[in-house]
Amino acid sequence: MPTTAALPAVTTGTAIKTMLQLATPSTRQIQLVEWGFTLDDPPGADAVFELLEVDVAATVTAHVASGVIKTIPGQPDSLLTLGASATGYSASAEGVPTASRLFDAVGMSSVSAEAAPFLTYRHRFEDGEESLVAVSKFLRIRATTPTTAVDMRCWVAWDE
């Protein structure tokens, strides 16, 4: 979350990359509320942005507890597992998931005029929509921008 500085962007690279990862503990699942992203520029080739649950962690830059912000004041601190193989951002290694579950995916055209309306995306999960991330799993926002790296800001809101 931004404090004294603006929310920073992270480059997607040109291969599949986990931009944000949340690790559920062995004692608690999470209920997704919404997720989204913004891009500074359209990708140079058709791109895909995914929100999915996987069984294997990516190696990420670890989040610190102060980076996991409560959206409702007075709620207890999050029980997400923190660390380089847990909750973090900007993966340096993807790992090899053997099982996954897709919650949402966004395809983006490489044509700038077609992509422009989707440079900002937000999806709110409705009541009854399957949006639970199981215990001991990893929720990932992944970006695949095959030819041109773009700067991306992404986020997830959830209930524990």
Mean pLDDT of 35-41: 91
Mean pLDDT of 5-12: 82
| pLDDT digits 0-9 by tens, 98-148 | 999 999 999 887 776 666 666 889 999 998 778 999 999 999 999 998 888
Domain ranges of the chain: 10-159
| Predicted structure pTM score | 0.90
Tokens, residue 40: 């500074």
Q: Which residue has the higher pLDDT, 84 or 41?
A: 84
**Average pLDDT score over the chain:** 88
Helix, strand, coil in percent for the chain, rounding step 5? 5, 45, 50
Distances (CA, A) of 42 to 68, 81, 142, 144, 154: 28, 33, 16, 12, 15
| pLDDT digits 0-9 by tens, 55-106 | 999 999 998 877 777 777 888 888 888 889 999 999 999 999 999 999 999 9
Confidence of residue 42 (pLDDT cuts 50, 70, 90): confident
